[in-house]
Structures are given as C-alpha cells and as structure tokens.
Amino acid sequence: MYVYPTYHYEDQAYQDRVFPELPGFPGGPQFPGQPGSLPYSQAPTAPPPAFIPQQQQASTFAVDPGAISFCLFRNTFIWLNNGGSFWYYPIFVGPRSVAGFRWNGRFWTFFGIDTRQIRSFTCF
C-alpha cells in the first residue's frame, strides 16, 4: 500500500515555495466571488469512474502544464514517477503545479502536486 504525502497548507513558507501560483497564495489568480480563497465548491459531486485506465506510454520528461490543462474540470487518472496512481479532478494548472481534488477511495480531498512528479495522465 502506498502512503501519500500530506501537504500542510497552513505553513505559508511551504505554500510560497511549492505552490506559488495557486489561487489564494501570494501572486496567485483570484476567482470571482472568492477573494483570497480556493474554490472548494468546485469539487466533484460524484465518485470517479470505477475502473483504472491502462497507462499510455510515459514520457521521460516532466508533464507539460499546457497538456494537462486540457483535463481541467474532468476526471483524470494520474500516474506518478514513484509508482503511485490515483483519480484526480484538476481545477487549476500553474507553470509548475496542478491543484484540484484527489479521490481517496471514499471522498474527494483537496490536493496539489508539482508537475515534475507526474509520469503520465489521461482524462475522461
């Protein structure tokens, strides 16, 4: 079983270093009606598909943020460089990171990740 890292968003120095472009963080874009906060209301209301898709050929380079931006607000399956994988629902793509909701097997939780940690992805 893979144990996923926990990100502590209340640590401002960590936020600035790891996810500087996330909404609500210094320099991040603001969403209408939600100044300074992340759009938690955009979490999916249903679980992801009940299957795990077959992984496509992975690149040896980091995932391009422009490519994963086509998966915004769609169920996306992500494979990590460390062998982990999970269903994801991205809501924001920055120059070096993706923010959204990760399925933990029971419910969606907010999660951000550096695009350099992603091996490949597919969205539906």
Domain architecture of the chain: domains with CATH = 62-124 (2.30.30)
Question: Cα separation of 121 and 78, whole Å?
Answer: 4
Considering only residues 16 and 106, tell me which one the structure prediction assigns the higher pLDDT: 106
Helices assigned H by DSSP within the chain? 12-18, 65-68
Nearest C-alpha neighbor of 14 from the set 27, 25, 28? 25
Pairing of strands 85-93, 76-80: antiparallel
pLDDT category at 120 given cuts 50, 70, 90 is very high
Q: What pTM, to 2 d.p., does this model score? A: 0.68
- Residue 6 confidence (pLDDT): 42
